[in-house]
């Protein structure tokens, strides 16, 4: 039986989601990859236990994480039941709905019918009474925002979720959604969006500014751009890397010569600071007042330990931040 480390809360930092009372660890772990049917069950346990042993209290899932869709929630539910059940109140567990989950018109996007049925399915897979955060996974141009937000509010009112979240929303739509959720007295606390040195979408689509203005948190997903912002691909594509072992969402052609050149320059800058590129890339995301925490993925426990070093040492100086912007400018244009 797993016994968590007694020192698990000694070094992690926790920050409130915007103006809410809910605190996120500076680093959270996502189960998008490495928790599906093709992954090793014992490794899943090692990943979760390593994370929790170091104060990573937040595990992020979605209905469709796998492969097969749903299997990450199933495996997570089994580990929860077998090993983590005594610690349920120490854990923050999130799931989402918004992408295709089952065939037909009711298994995708943002209808009340889909969102509430999907949450019930997620709870059954994870063997949970409630999740801590239930997200709408993406904006739905064809469903009235009032309907999707009404479903999130219903999820909270029914006790199946404690808080509501929005993922992949832009600033303007988030503000509209926020007003509806306020009217419904629904505790919407957190946005989940991609943000890293190479992906500045939330600076351009208003989400970052809007979250600050509305007092909402941001958890930054893909902070390492799926592994590109690490030393993983500096000398070719390793056989055990995400590009080779999975490749559903990260293809070899993402590694252009231009990108690789910039990644190598970033790696040199990190080396000058005496840290890895992964560490520097996470510090870059964490520097921001608008960001509550980073949401990493990992294929092995050592990566989690390496990434936690981003909590130590000097933050990036103004000069280093400027240098990073100059290096990546050609890729952002
Ligand atoms: N809401 C959304 O629409 C959405 C979309 C995407 C992701 N997310 C969430 O964000 C989470 C994280 O996404 P992500 O996995 O793409 O994040 P990421 O942290 O950018 O990438 C994780 C991958 O980078 C590599 N890696 C991590 N640490 C490393 C290190 N120290 N050195 C070398 N390589 C390292 C590993 O890949 P290898 O396999 O190559 O080792 C790892 O699986 C997901 O699990 C999910 O919860 C949400």
Q: Give the start-to-end residue ranges of the domains of the chain.
A: 14-332
Burial of 175 from C-beta contacts in 10 A (0-12 / 13-18 / 19+): middle
Asked which of 19-28, 213-222, 245-254 is least confident by mean pLDDT, the reply is 245-254
Residue nearest to atom 13 of ligand 1 (CA): 222
**Is the shortest distance between the CB of 184 and ligand 1 below 6 Å?**
no
Which CATH superfamily, name and number, covers 14-332? NADP-dependent oxidoreductase domain (3.20.20.100)
Instruction: Specify the length of the chain in residues.
Output: 333
- Atom 4 of ligand 1, residue of closest alpha carbon: 221
306 lines ligand 1 (CB under 6 A): yes
- Among residues 202, 135, 216, 134, the alpha carbon closest in space to that of 170 is found at 202
Q: How confident is the prediction for the chain on average, in pLDDT?
A: 97
Res 235: pLDDT: 94
Predicted local confidence at residue 247, as pLDDT: 82
Give the residue-averaged pLDDT of 158-183: 98
State in Å: Cα 113 to ligand 1 middle: 31
Query: Is the pLDDT at 123 greater than 90, yes or no?
Result: yes
> 241: Cβ below 6 Å to ligand 1?
yes
Summarised one tens digit per residue, pLDDT across range 127-160 is: 999 999 999 999 999 999 999 999 999 999 999 9
Percent of the chain scoring above 70 in pLDDT = 100
Atom of ligand 1 nearest to the CA of 250: 16
Q: Which residue, chain included where needed, has tokens 């890397």?
A: 241
298 pocket-lining for ligand 1 (C-beta < 6 Å): yes
Question: Token pair 């751009």 is at which residue?
Answer: 225
Specify whether the CB–CB gap between 146 and 115 falls below 8 A: no
Give the mean model confidence (pLDDT) for residues 261-268. Answer: 98
Instruction: Give the residue, by CA position, lying nearest to ligand 1 atom 43.
Output: 298
Closest residue by CA, ligand 1 atom 1 = 167
- pLDDT score of 270: 98
Q: Is there an atom of ligand 1 within 6 Å of 73 CB?
A: no
Which tokens in the block code for residue 162?
A: 């404690």
């Amino acid at each position: 039986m797993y016994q968590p480390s007694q020192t698990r809360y000694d070094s992690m930092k926790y920050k409130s989601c915007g103006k809410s009372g809910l605190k996120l660890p500076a680093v959270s772990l996502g189960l998008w990859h490495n928790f599906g049917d093709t992954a090793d069950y014992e490794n899943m346990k090692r990943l979760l236990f390593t994370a929790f042993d170091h104060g990573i209290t937040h595990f992020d899932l979605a209905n469709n994480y796998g492969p097969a869709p749903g299997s990450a929630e199933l495996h997570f539910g089994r580990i929860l039941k077998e090993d983590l059940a005594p610690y349920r109140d120490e854990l923050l567990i999130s799931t989402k709905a918004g992408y295709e989950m089952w065939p037909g018109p009711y298994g995708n996007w943002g209808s009340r019918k889909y969102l509430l049925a999907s949450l019930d399915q997620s709870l059954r897979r994870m063997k949970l009474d409630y999740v801590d955060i239930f997200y709408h996974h993406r904006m739905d141009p064809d469903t009235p925002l009032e309907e999707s937000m009404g479903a999130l509010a219903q999820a909270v009112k029914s006790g199946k979720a404690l808080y509501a979240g929005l993922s992949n929303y832009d600033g303007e739509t988030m503000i509209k959604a926020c007003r509806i959720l306020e009217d419904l007295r629904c505790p919407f606390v957190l946005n989940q969006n991609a943000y890293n040195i190479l992906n500045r979408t939330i600076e351009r689509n208003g989400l970052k500014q809007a979250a600050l203005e509305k007092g909402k948190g941001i958890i930054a997903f893909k902070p390492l751009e799926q592994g590109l912002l690490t030393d993983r691909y500096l000398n070719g594509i390793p056989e055990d890397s995400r590009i080779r072992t999975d490749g559903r969402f990260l293809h070899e052609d993402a590694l252009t010569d231009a990108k690789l050149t910039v990644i190598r320059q970033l790696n040199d800058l990190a080396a000058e600071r005496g840290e890895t590129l992964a560490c520097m890339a996470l510090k870059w995301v964490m520097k921001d007042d608008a960001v509550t925490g980073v949401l990493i993925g990992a294929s092995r426990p050592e990566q989690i330990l390496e990434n936690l070093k981003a909590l130590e040492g000097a933050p990036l100086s103004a000069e280093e931040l400027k240098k990073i912007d100059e290096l990546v400018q050609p890729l952002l244009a």
